Amino acid sequence: MRMVDLIEKKRDGKELSQEEINFIIEGYTNGSIPDYQMSAFQMAVFFQGMTPGETANFTMAMVKSGDQVDLSAIEGIKVDKHSTGGVGDTTTLVLAPLVAAVGVPVAKMSGRGLGHTGGTIDKLESVDGFHTEISDEQFYDLVNKNKVAVIGQSGNLTPADKKIYGLRDVTATVNSIPLIASSIMSKKIAAGADAICLDVKVGAGAFMKNLEDAKELARTMVEIGKNVGRKTMAVISDMNQPLGFAIGNALEVKEAIDTLKGHGPRDLHELCLTLGSHMVCLAEKADTPEAARAMLEEVIANGKALEKFKVFLAAQGGNASVVDQPEKLPTAKYTFEVKAKVDGTVSEIEADSIGTAAMLLGAGRATKESTIDLSVGLILHKKIGDNVKKGEPIVTIHSNSEENNEVIKRIYESYSITHEHVERPTLIYDEIK
């Protein structure tokens, strides 16, 4: 087989066989296919797309390029949740203990990653003593015993995806739905999930800017899951503004605690109950999302979800008393209120630019080497559709620096305030099964 013939075949819109796709992924991973041929191939995919069969084969070839996690030592159906990414997305911190409290095993493998705030592990490290350096056996035992544990990423998962994603980044081929879908799904499948619940974000602060593209990405991922024998469903949710009020690490842990107590921000609460209901159904602990939702509401109301969070933190060395005394979480030295300059209604909160404001405070990593300040971040007091009076605080900055001019500038740039009537954005647009 010659790579040049396969590039030509895809360029002309023909379908590649499983054998041909395996040849491409294996060859690119082991270095026998050079970057320039892979670049040309990806550009051909960008314009011609891939059939559902090709996309599934492409995904599984990437899964097989490296280690695959075996979670068979854990009882029950392991459901993983994945969000396509947004600003201030605190859902994992809430969902892990919430669904575990109704018996769904949550075996979470998580990374640190780059972004406006840290990843799930960084956020959890705001809890004094909490760590994810546990052995695989400890991890399985903890999930069997408590139904929830988080372990740091280890092993060599999907090396093909790492190499391909790096190349896509510099060849203008990131934004191809079959390539995004196979990239995300390969990582979830290699991480050992039996079932996958996807949160596909749509809006100004997301990869997918419009609903049609978000639906197509969701359908493509659900189809991959079906084709390779993993139950998969997707919720399409709004990312036209940050989720919840908090953007930061310790601040989001506190927000998660509030949500587990039943008084979190309305949007975060609602999204967690929606995603959680589907996770419970995928794990076959309930027959309908309505029944699952009632179970989740019950464990919030009776305190079992909160109790589960304490057990989870303590089992991995964390000081669980922060759950009752969140003031023990890392706290920034200074707080500043950013005040509205005019009366009106909030019509826009540009998620990317407010995320950048949080990053400038030190909440996120700009490069792999950066360190994170767990205490800093932003609390939003006003969301889209809220009325504001001139002089009223719209955002509180939690900072370890006295000088925050750039941060303040970004916050003003991200907020738009109008005199016209503004509808609150829809939170959940669709569900794809």
81 is a catalytic site residue: no
Per CB under 5 A, 88 contacts Ca ion:
yes
Quick check: 104 and 279 in contact, CB under 8 A?
yes
CB of 165 to ligand URA, least distance (A): 6
Taking 3-state DSSP, the helix, strand and coil percentages for the chain, each rounded to the nearest 5, stand at: 45, 15, 40
Q: Which stretch binds Ca ion (CB under 5 A): 89-97, 169-177, 286-294, 346-354?
A: 89-97
Are the C-beta atoms of residues 7 and 41 closer than 8 Å to each other?
Answer: yes
To the query of whether residue 266 is one of the catalytic residues in this protein, the response is no
Looking at 83-91, 152-160, 193-201, 228-236, which segment touches Ca ion (CB under 5 A)?
83-91
The residues in 234-263 that bind Ca ion, with binding defined as CB under 5 A, are 244, 246
List CB contacts of 324: < 8 A, sequence separation 6 or more. Answer: none
CA distance 71 to 142: 12
CA–centroid distance for 71 within its chain = 21
Closest distance of CB 264 from Ca ion, Å: 9
Candidates 78, 81, 82, 398; catalytic one: 82
Which listed option, Ca ion, ligand URA, none, makes contact with residue 183 (CB within 5 to 8 Å by class)? ligand URA
Q: Is 183 in the site for ligand URA (CB under 6 A)?
A: yes
Spatial CB neighbours of 104, under 8 Å, sequence gap ≥ 6: 76, 77, 79, 147, 279, 280, 283, 285
Q: Which of 184, 246, 260, 357 touches ligand URA (CB under 6 A)? A: 184
Question: Is 168 known to be catalytic?
Answer: yes
Candidate list 168, 230, 310, 383, residue with the active-site label: 168
Q: Please report whether residue 83 would count as binding ligand URA according to CB under 6 A.
A: no
User: Are 375 and 254 contacting, i.e. CB atoms less than 8 angstroms apart?
Assistant: no
Q: What minimum distance in Å lies between the beta carbon of 174 and ligand URA?
A: 6
**Site for Ca ion contains 364 (CB under 5 A):** no
Selected catalytic residue, list 65, 176, 182, 183: 183
- Work out the burial of residue 166: count CB atoms within 10 Å of its CB; fewer than 13 is exposed, 13-18 middle, 19 or more buried: exposed
Residue whose token pair is 């749509």: 202
Q: Residues 6 or more apart from 46 whose CB is under 8 A from it?
A: 173, 175, 176, 179
Binding flag, residue 132, Ca ion (CB under 5 A): no
386 is catalytic: no
> Which residue from 180, 195, 329, 372 is in contact with ligand URA, where contact means CB under 6 A?
180
Structure-token pair, residue 32:
């026998």
- The binding site for Ca ion (CB under 5 A) comprises 88, 90, 244, 246
Catalytic site positions: 82, 161, 168, 183, 187
- The binding site for ligand URA (CB under 6 A) comprises 165, 174, 179-180, 183-184
